[in-house]
Structure 1
Amino acid sequence: MGLRKKVIWITGASSGIGEALAYEFNKKGAHLILSARRTGELERVKENCSNHEESVKILPLDLAEADQMEAKAVEALAMYGHVDMLINNGGVSQRSYAVDTEMSTVRKVMEVNFFGTVGLTKALLPEMIKQKSGHIVVISSVMGKFGTKFRSTYAASKHALHGYFDSLRQELYEHNVNVSLVCPGYVKTDVTINALTGSGEKFNKMGKGQKNAMPPEEFAKKLIPKLAAGKDEIYLGGAELMGVYLKRFVPGLFSKLLKRVRVT
């Protein structure tokens, strides 16, 4: 995949996987649109990119405001005239037992992870269909393939993304627009620190799985070639990825194993 001057729009670009992807695409000569809520952090990421005045634009947005996505798409398209790839990376996690999770928290996670992602994608789709090319990338999770304790709403939001974008892929095939679902295992980011508790407050703890996980820079380097191959579904991580295959082939055994696992 030749990336020089390709226009890549990345949400959640102010930290973690999104930031690492921004740097990796920038090294390959892509033109970037970086989005997240924190304008100051987006400016920092931009400044860390080479040739940033010409090749990096920032477009602050809040995925919780799904009704703003059409206007944001118009702004993004005005920056370079088109978008070749949309990487839906922005999102929020959750760490609480289902019985203790307030419905307002459930709705917030779904609003950001599902409705925000769908809203932004739908806003950009007409232009990709018109140009007869494009690539929609969704950073999901292994939690999109199975659920565990302490992550009920987060897993539900990721499962919903799989159902929606698997269907969308079939609709876009004739328009030459690809859809890739990316399922990371543990990546060393602040995802658990920023996760919501049942009451909607920040969890403020680094999850055990994240502490010694794959660095986001390594994740980004491994992901880009797989995107170039046009894979429908991409898995990147460690031993935790085995859960996907255990769930598929020996679901009864996998369920028994999960009941004994202590998750954080």
Structure 2
Amino acid sequence: MTDIAGKTVWITGASSGIGEALALEASQRNAKLILSARRAGELERVRAACLHLKNVAVLPLDLTDFDPASALSQAEAFFGPIDVLVNNAGISQRSSVLQTSMDVYRRIFELDFFAPVALTKAVLPGMVARGGGHVVTISSVVGYVGTPQRSGYAAAKHAVQGFFDAARSELWRENVRFTTVCPGYIKTNVSINAITGSGAAHGQMDPGQSRGMDAGLCARKIWNAVATDKDEIAIGKEALIIWGKRFLPGVMSYALKRAKVT
């Protein structure tokens, strides 16, 4: 069981969306919080909305250009060693394979795969030395099922699934827990902030995203999964896609080929 009350929790991508909701919920559960993202002003806004402000710190961080050891040192200067790392920062995509440049693919992987791997590798030695810790990583339903217009995003999330499955299998004896979260549509700005094949901002709210699950409800489900040390949790009705891929692959392939995706 992982009770975050009194624990030091470091959340990346905490300036909006799921990350912001996780921060607000964790503050209600009496965690000590370090909030990271690029936008310092937005982080301060989220901090102001949290409970127990003395237990909430802001650490602006650009995860496409950072030194993991230095970032960890700065994070630990607030409340001590990191008990729970939440790898939430990421970027989505809205472009076809033919339209997407290699630079865009590399940009997606840098933030969605290499950054969480680097931060995780930075915190793991300390967790092992202290006899435990918890790493939470936000993946996606597309970490199981590649969908149209998401080739780079799906590839990065597939890679995330593989890495953290392997890490879990290696470090369970050291009492380091890993929870991988696979959300479907959550009502956030992820589609607005997604990038196109040229690297420009998509700038549009997808219809599915606008009808998605409330981010606060998503956050509560995530922290409940962490509390019970679940290895993985799929959130939202879109989780049915995972089961469809597993048990009805032909049907799922047919449906995806004809899906009208924005």
**Structure 2: runs of 5 or more not aligned:** none
Deviation string for 1:144-201 (max 9, x for gaps)?
0010110000000000001111001111111100011100010000000000000000
TM-score, structure 2 normalization: 0.98
CA distance in 1, matches of 2:162, 2:220: 27
Matched, 1:252 2:238: no
CA distance in 1, matches of 2:221, 2:162: 25
Spell out the pairing of 1:148-159 with structure 2 (5 A cutoff): 148-159=147-158
SS in 2 for 1:192: helix
Matched, 1:17 2:18: yes
Letter in 2 for 1:210: Q
**Structure 1: runs of 5 or more not aligned:** none
Deviation string for 1:91-136 (max 9, x for gaps)?
0001000111011111000001001110111111111111111000
CA drift at 1:2: 3.1
Aligned to 2:115: 116
CA distance in 1, matches of 2:253, 2:135: 32
TM-score, structure 1 normalization: 0.97
Deviation string for 1:29-70 (max 9, x for gaps)?
110000000001001111111221x200111111112x5111
CA distance in 1, matches of 2:175, 2:197: 42
CA distance in 1, matches of 2:13, 2:144: 22
Deviation string for 1:191-242 (max 9, x for gaps)?
000000000000000011111111101111222111111111101112x211
Number of residue-to-residue matches in the alignment: 261
CA drift at 1:83: 1.1
CA distance in 2, matches of 1:138, 1:197: 24
Matched, 1:223 2:222: yes
Q: Percent identity?
A: 49
Tell me, yes or no, if the aligned pair for 2:8 and 2:80 is still in contact at 8 Å. Answer: no
Aligned to 1:129: 128
Aligned to 2:56: 56
Aligned to 1:74: 73
Aligned to 1:28: 29
Letter in 1 for 2:16: S
Tell me, yes or no, if the aligned pair for 2:4 and 2:227 is still in contact at 8 Å. Answer: no
CA drift at 1:257: 1.2
CA distance in 1, matches of 2:213, 2:162: 27
Matched, 1:37 2:35: no
CA distance in 2, matches of 1:197, 1:107: 13
Aligned to 1:166: 165
Q: What RMSD in Å do the two structures reach over aligned CA positions?
A: 0.9
